[in-house]
Structure 1
Amino acid sequence: MSPRINPLLLVSALLDVAATANIFVSHYSGTIYSLTLTGSGSEYTLTQNSTLNVGGQPSWMTFDSDSRIIYASDESTSGSPQLTATSASKDGKLSLSGKATQPGGGVHNVLYGPGYIAVAHYQTSTISTYKLPLSSGSSALQKFTLTMSGKGTNPSRQDAPHPHEVIIDPTGNFLLSPDLGADLIRIYSIDKSTGKLTACPSFVEVGGTGPRHGSFFGEDILYIGNELANTVHALTVTYPTSGCLSLSRIQSLTTLTGNKTAPSGTKVGEVHVKDKFLYVSNRRDLSFTPNDSMASFSLDSAGKMTFQQITSSGGTYPRTFSINKAGDLVVIGDQTTANVVVVKRDPATGLLGTQVASMRIGSVGQAENDNGLSAVLWDE
């Protein structure tokens, strides 16, 4: 006789389990927000939980889940730009816990360590590092002032070095920084005992490429999103027994269907790898007029990209996005329309699905201006 199946258990297995998650959002007005996402299936709701004015122009956030501290870079170049630390309680309440004066134009930061943070400063051609925790008396551990000989291939955008991100490799031994102005991937070795960086030979990109953001696939492949060329480059990573890592380009694709050239005015935003899939945000491509788009690629074991799909970003100028750990939801931050969008993701196929929630945050921005929404993060 076959065992009897409890119908209630069967129904339970077929239904999505209701989810609750917090999302952190920064806005160029100087405010960090905590939102709560609740729901299941195709029915989700975003509600505002807490706000905190940290001042300046917070452009990027990194969340340390162990200490529950959000570190925000300040993109402003006037006054006294600050690198801020915000405590986030588990119920989403926010409070300022520390800050340190930083060079102007901070557009990205990353934790490395133990106990250090690095910041990329776009406008002031600087990479700075700090020992944590931050306090009003904190000073930079190191400041690297970047240089280049003459203007680049795109003189209006490549008038000086413009580091746009700082990335730690999977071994934790190296820091890499895509330099949009100089068409370089700058590489530094890390002394884990002191937190100090030592410059290595840079990887030279094709002139006018404008490397902006990157993401690793395992230890051996690095993908770089290029803002000026609107392409993604796949780079192999070689680790010598001693000395510095090196990079070699193996593939280049545009971020649109059929490897089409992006419309004038388009700017690749952020890139992320999740499992065997790569995602890129396209700003001002208007593929879903008036909205912009998200592109996805499948990845084979050697790191080769195959274009998979393009979907709406749910707003305009998607500067940032984040995939949750479960891999079933993606939060997108549309800068100009200043809205947070949550879409479904199929963890097995990597395909992005329907929009399940959207919420306006603060004031809308203007295209090509440093206003509107700046960054989004899952509280994970």
Structure 2
Amino acid sequence: MSDDSATPNRKDGPDRGPLAVVGCFTTAERKARGTGIRVFHRDGAPWRAAHRLDGIVNPSFLRADPERGVVYAAHGDDDVVSAYTVDPATGAIAPLGRARSAGRNGVAVALHPSKRFLFVADYADGSVSTLPVASDGSPADATHCLALPGPAGPHRVEQTSSHPHDTVMDPAGRFLLVPDKGLDRVFVLRPEDSTGELTVVSQALLRPGSGPRHIAFHPVLPRAYVVTEIDSMVVSLAWDAAAGVLSPLHVVPALPDSFFGHSTAAEIVVDPSGRFLYLSHRGADLVARFSLDDSGDRPVLGGWVPSNGAEPRFMALSPDGTRLFVANEQSDSIVEFAIDAVTGELSATHTVATPSPSAVAFL
């Protein structure tokens, strides 16, 4: 198990391995034990602690720009977006800048392909903000804010208003897709080239009360997949890249039919081969595995494995697609699973200890 006792600005000698940057929840409201952002060398197994930056409040979601060596963070329960430089050799992390979003509780950050704009999902205020980005990667305060329109879903607690929960650029980099948990729909937005100002192009309506949370694209086919938080389903959608339109195809249950407790789905990833899809459940504390055929239309459930921890909020594939990392927020661990190249089955291999992990980004 990895030691997480690294101190700021510690040197790790000549090792030059790829890096993992981990955001950790920090506040009592989040039932958290984290202190900020931690950086690990991932050139071996398990990961080795490199550096950490304490005093950063609730870095809830991270987005990496490997070319610049910059990581962006949205901050839970706040209206701040921050940026950090990470030294590729030592993993030393340093603040680059902070900026204000136009809404509260940022839960996802997307970087425009031009790298001139950041897009932030403001969960609490039902909006998506555009923040300019300077040539060095530092963000400026939001210049535009788009309020997402539509009637709230039927859930009396989770759907009182719009709650965008993800921001993902489509594979061609022309559209921004935003699942809205509160409105039971996925918005397709178009950024204006010179300003980054967003406009609504289309909306995909999902089942009332489903609570769409995150979205992932197929690596080759014009298909996308949405995990619905409230009813724990996976939805496949056809993607019209020319028109910017999502069309729902199938919805598939993702919890075991023998499970009767409370659970909410969290993260969804598609492996680089396009043959497997994975989804995490908080409460059941499971990772579901689906297979995808040549059409990519209907995910087929293949089974579940325990996440080996509590509340698997976030998952990320290794850059080569051979491993899945599952961040168990309430058991202070990131569990590495090896992926069988033939069946897609998961086998736990290593555990990294880090408090209240909320997100992982690779550099």
Pick which of 159-168 and 90-99 moved more: 90-99
**Whole-angstrom distance in 1 between the partners of 2:206 and 2:253:** 16
**Whole-angstrom distance in 1 between the partners of 2:110 and 2:221:** 18
Is 2:42 the partner of 1:37? yes
Is 2:349 the partner of 1:378? no
The aligned residue for residue 185 of structure 1 is 186
**Counterpart contact for 1:322–1:378, Cα < 8 Å:** no
**Whole-angstrom distance in 1 between the partners of 2:258 and 2:175:** 33
**Whole-angstrom distance in 2 between the partners of 1:328 and 1:24:** 19
Is 2:327 the partner of 1:327? no
**Structure ID, larger Rg:** 1
**Whole-angstrom distance in 1 between the partners of 2:75 and 2:154:** 28
**Counterpart contact for 1:333–1:374, Cα < 8 Å:** yes
Cα deviation per residue 1:203-259 (whole Å; 9 max; x = unaligned)?
A: 11110010000101135111000001100000111244xxx42222211111135xx
The aligned residue for residue 339 of structure 2 is 345
User: Offset of 1:170 from its aligned partner?
Assistant: 0.8
Distance 1:263 1:192, change over 3 A: farther
**1:81-230 to 2 correspondence within 5 Å?**
81-90=79-88, 91-102=90-101, 103-115=103-115, 116-133=117-134, 138-149=140-151, 151-217=152-218, 218-230=220-232
Q: What letter corresponds to residue 208 of structure 1 in structure 2?
A: G
Gaps of 5+ in 1: 1-18, 286-291, 363-371
The aligned residue for residue 361 of structure 1 is 354
Q: TM-score, structure 1 length as denominator?
A: 0.82
**Whole-angstrom distance in 1 between the partners of 2:202 and 2:327:** 34
Paired residue secondary structure (2:159): coil
The aligned residue for residue 280 of structure 1 is 279
Pick which of 308-317 and 139-148 moved more: 139-148
User: Offset of 1:28 from its aligned partner?
Assistant: 1.1
**Whole-angstrom distance in 1 between the partners of 2:258 and 2:361:** 30
The aligned residue for residue 12 of structure 1 is none
Distance 1:263 1:89, change over 3 A: farther
**Counterpart contact for 1:281–1:295, Cα < 8 Å:** yes
Distance 1:66 1:262, change over 3 A: farther
Is 2:24 the partner of 1:27? yes
**Whole-angstrom distance in 2 between the partners of 1:219 and 1:198:** 25
User: Offset of 1:349 from its aligned partner?
Assistant: 3.0
Is 2:287 the partner of 1:294? yes
Q: What letter corresponds to residue 88 of structure 1 in structure 2?
A: V
Q: What letter corresponds to residue 300 of structure 1 in structure 2?
A: D
Gaps of 5+ in 2: 1-15, 27-34
Is 2:67 the partner of 1:66? yes
The aligned residue for residue 76 of structure 1 is 77
Q: Which structure would you say has the larger RCO, counting Cα contacts within 8 Å and 6 or more residues apart?
A: 2
Is 2:266 the partner of 1:269? yes
**Whole-angstrom distance in 2 between the partners of 1:24 and 1:246:** 34
User: Offset of 1:167 from its aligned partner?
Assistant: 1.2
**Whole-angstrom distance in 1 between the partners of 2:17 and 2:301:** 32
Paired residue secondary structure (1:202): strand
**Counterpart contact for 1:170–1:219, Cα < 8 Å:** no
**Whole-angstrom distance in 1 between the partners of 2:361 and 2:346:** 18
**Whole-angstrom distance in 1 between the partners of 2:148 and 2:197:** 17
User: Offset of 1:20 from its aligned partner?
Assistant: 5.2
**Counterpart contact for 1:74–1:107, Cα < 8 Å:** yes
**Whole-angstrom distance in 1 between the partners of 2:51 and 2:68:** 19
Q: What letter corresponds to residue 113 of structure 2 in structure 1?
A: G
Q: TM-score, structure 2 length as denominator?
A: 0.86
Distance 1:263 1:377, change over 3 A: farther
Distance 1:246 1:339, change over 3 A: same
**Counterpart contact for 2:280–2:287, Cα < 8 Å:** yes
CA root-mean-square deviation: 2.0
Q: What letter corresponds to residue 301 of structure 1 in structure 2?
A: D
**Whole-angstrom distance in 2 between the partners of 1:67 and 1:37:** 19
**Counterpart contact for 1:188–1:198, Cα < 8 Å:** yes
**Whole-angstrom distance in 2 between the partners of 1:168 and 1:261:** 36
**Whole-angstrom distance in 2 between the partners of 1:119 and 1:263:** 35
User: Offset of 1:261 from its aligned partner?
Assistant: 7.2
User: Offset of 1:314 from its aligned partner?
Assistant: 1.6
Paired residue secondary structure (1:144): strand
**Counterpart contact for 1:83–1:101, Cα < 8 Å:** yes
User: Offset of 1:37 from its aligned partner?
Assistant: 3.3
Aligned residues: 331
**Whole-angstrom distance in 2 between the partners of 1:46 and 1:169:** 31
